[in-house]
Amino acid sequence: MPRFVTVAAGQLGPIARDDSRAQVVERLLAHLHGAKAMGCDLVVFPELALTTFFPRWYEEDLDLAEHFYETQMPGPETQVLFDTARDLQIGFYLGYAEMVIEAGRKRRYNTSILVERDGSIAGKYRKVHLPGHAENEPWRRFQHLEKYYFEPGPSFDVYDAFGGVMGMALCNDRRWSETYRMMGLQGAEMIMLGYNTPVHNPPAPEHDDLSMFHNHLVMQAGAYENGTWVVGVAKAGNEEGIEMIGGSAIIAPSGEIVAACSTKGDELAVARCDLDLCHSYKSTTFNFERHRRPEAYGLITAQRGARRPW
């Protein structure tokens, strides 16, 4: 009996700085209902799906940015998502900014959760690869201050949900092959990730024309090299004056894109994913136990940066 998970890429268009949580949650609920009507078990929402991408601005006083973070999940404004998930029997992946008090200190993370069809939280992930910079850099047309607004998470985990081995990542994580391999080594069959990716990258404008190519390149490679489904979902469009890529896609373990969004607004792209297709790759070309040579890979965890051996 095939293990199907019918999944929707729940792409969002822009979220304005002043959009309320209630206004955004309405859009997320529309996706949950729309995806359910299309027979989905699961909707993947973007990174930071409750707010605008606020790391594009420098705020000297972090307390003045506190309203962008969730201190409870579910909280008063998001409980309806969990209730609807349970009522409709549809799960979701949600990216959001998380603030917790740990050992008496405020900790801030770029976080995602995986919610099962009964409304329970099956897993929580905190973004490992924080791109951008930690201090205001006025030379940029816009900032990318994830290293200022968030702390990195400690690990990549997998979760027993939706009848398979589910993994989570966030945005920049998708550009690092270690992300997929760490979950591939744990048997991941579907890796979900949301992203907020500006078309323009101030340090490397020569990459701008390739932003969509790079977006799909890394997710397709990650899927194929680890024999896993990958679902990548954008917050897209012109958000507070900054153009963000769309290109939300559902990618099979073969590396093929099997469904994709074609607009830069709120859009659902749906695919019925057979988790057993992973076996064709995990048992042959990417049979890790049979073919990998970790004895030869020492540098990958021994070194952070690249340096010539001479």
Residue 239 is a catalytic residue: no
By CB under 6 A, residue 171 contacts ligand ING: yes
Nearer to ligand ING, 24 or 277 (CB): 24
Is the separation of the CB atoms in 94 and 113 below 8 Å? yes
Question: 37-51 burial by CB neighbour count: b if 16+ within 10 A, else e?
Answer: eeebbbbbbbbbbbb
Cβ pair 113, 124 in contact under 8 A: yes
Question: 70 or 189: whose CB is closer to ligand ING?
Answer: 70
Q: Which is nearer to ligand ING, 172 or 248 (CB)?
A: 172
206 is a catalytic site residue? no
Contact (CB, 8 A) for 130 and 110? yes
Is 195 a residue that touches ligand ING (CB under 6 A)? yes
Catalytic residue among 36, 98, 146, 171: 171
- Residue 259 CA to residue 232 CA, distance in Å, equals 11
CB of 86 to ligand ING, least distance (A): 30
* Cα distances (angstroms) measured from residue 90 to each of 86, 115, 271, 305: 7, 9, 15, 42
Q: How far is the CB of 208 from ligand ING (least distance, A)?
A: 9
197 binds ligand ING (CB under 6 A): yes
Question: At its nearest, how many Å lie between ligand ING and the CB of residue 215?
Answer: 7
Query: Is the C-alpha dihedral spanning 157, 102, 72, 128 positive or negative?
Result: negative
Instruction: Give residue 236's identity as a one-letter amino acid code.
Output: A
236: closest CA among 26, 57, 46?
46
Contact 122, 115 (CB under 8 A): yes
Pairing label, strands 237-239, 164-170 = unpaired
Tell me, residue by residue from 9 to 48, as one string, x for binding to ligand ING by CB under 6 A and - for no binding.
Answer: --------------------------------------x-
Which one of the listed residues 40, 70, 98, 127 is annotated catalytic?
127
Selected binder of ligand ING within 52, 112, 172, 226 (CB under 6 A):
172
Which of residues 95 and 164 has its CB atom nearest to ligand ING in the complex? 95
Interface residue with ligand ING, options 201, 220, 226, 228 (CB under 6 A) = 201
Site string for ligand ING, 105-134 (x = CB under 6 A): --------------------------x---
- Choosing from 36, 40, 47, 267, the catalytic residue is 47
Q: Is position 127 annotated as part of the catalytic site?
A: yes
Residue with tokens 């297709």: 277
248 binds ligand ING (CB under 6 A): no
Spell out a b/e string for 201-225, using b for 16 or more CB atoms within 10 Å of the CB, else e: bbeeeeeeeebeeebbebbbbbbbb
- Which of 21, 175, 216, 272 binds ligand ING (CB under 6 A)? It is 175
For the chain, the straight-line distance linking the first and the last C-alpha, in angstroms and rounded, comes to: 56
- Asked if 196 touches ligand ING (CB under 6 A), the answer is yes
Binding residues for ligand ING (CB under 6 A): 47, 131, 171-172, 175, 195-198, 201
Active site residues: 47, 127, 171
